[in-house]
Amino acid sequence: MFFQRAFLRFKQTFSLGLITGLSLALLWGCLGSEMPANLSSMPAIDSPEQAETVLLETLLPNIETEEMFVSDEVASRYNTDNIIEPLPNVEDFPLHAATPSNNPNTLYLEIYSSSEKANVDKQNERWLVEVAEAFNQQALTTASGQTIQVGIRQIPSGTAARLLAAGTLQPAGYSPSNDLWIELLKSQEVSITPVEESLVLNTAGFVLQADAYTALGSDVSFEQIVDAMLSGQLTAGYPNPYTSSTSLNLLYHLFW
């Protein structure tokens, strides 16, 4: 028992000394080579509570901070072209109407669709899912006798485009929110066979604060908003353009 108590006491003392020593070494490194005069008579530390008190009341108030900004010239030497966001798991996105089957008598086809056509949680955004469900109920077959079943994968247009560009998946169909994603895939030499130019019309809109709307005048147009943004009169917030069709559409009109 004596040796156990002695060992525990040694362990506690060693841990406290190690933590305190590392903290002081780090802080003195921040303070510089010269220790401020009021730190030369620092009290002895023999408990975690006292160490915290010394850190908060004696050491931290003496740390000097300085802001340094990277110039545009220096920043231009670096780029993020080689930083690639990991591809998501397609199984993380909801699948509706039908699911893959191991039945050799079933031909399963999957379509990647944007949310405004495949969101089953909203009655006015589930149109493509309802079409697929109605098709599946007909139990149509191929010439070889396989029953055709169509599944609708609800996935953001940009995310689906990334998966297609990576070549990891090849769904039977892809229905993005707008055709800009198709053009991006073509620019990446992804083979695409258009079937329909448009399934349903999609409308993007702007939400303006009241003072911004008033500043632009009584009859505000899309072109007027774009011009105000380009001139710096308005600042817009938008989602990730690599996944959001609305953001991609906005940037396209701003820069092209």
Domain 90-187: give its CATH code: 3.40.190.10
Distance between first and last Cα of the chain: 80
Q: Where in the chain is the domain with CATH 3.40.190.10?
A: 90-187
Sign of CA dihedral 16, 19, 23, 29: positive
pLDDT classification of 214: cutoffs 50, 70, 90: confident
Question: What is the pLDDT at residue 10?
Answer: 37
| Residue 48: partners with Cβ closer than 8 Å, 6 or more residues away | 16, 19
104 token code pair: 């050799």
Nearest partner of 174 among 153, 150, 148, judged by Cα: 153
> What is the pLDDT, as a whole number, of residue 60?
82
pLDDT surpasses 60 at 155:
yes
Give the model confidence (pLDDT) of 168-190 as tens digits: 889 999 999 988 999 999 999 99
- What is the rounded distance in angstroms from the CA atom of residue 112 to the CA atom of residue 134? 18
Alpha helices in the chain (DSSP H): 2-31, 48-54, 72-75, 115-118, 127-137, 157-166, 180-187, 210-216, 222-230, 245-255
Q: Identify whether the C-beta of residue 59 lies closer than 8 Å to the C-beta of residue 24.
A: yes
Q: What is the mean pLDDT of residues 122-150?
A: 95
**Residues 178/202, Cβ–Cβ less than 8 Å:** yes
Average pLDDT of the residues in 222-235: 86
pLDDT at 241: 85
Burial state string for 150-171 with b = 16 or more CB within 10 A and e = fewer than 16: bbbbbbbbbbbbbbbbeeeeeb
Q: What is the pLDDT of residue 32?
A: 47
- The rounded distance, in Å, linking the Cα atoms of 53 and 45 is 10
pLDDT exceeds cutoff 70 at 40? no
Instruction: For 21-119, list the strands marked E by DSSP.
Output: 95-96, 106-113
pLDDT tens for each residue of 52-100: 888 888 888 888 888 888 888 877 777 766 667 788 999 999 999 999 9
- Beta pairing partners, 108: 149
Average pLDDT over the chain, rounded to an integer: 81
- Model pLDDT, residue 67: 83
> If pLDDT is split at 50, 70 and 90, which confidence band does 159 have?
very high
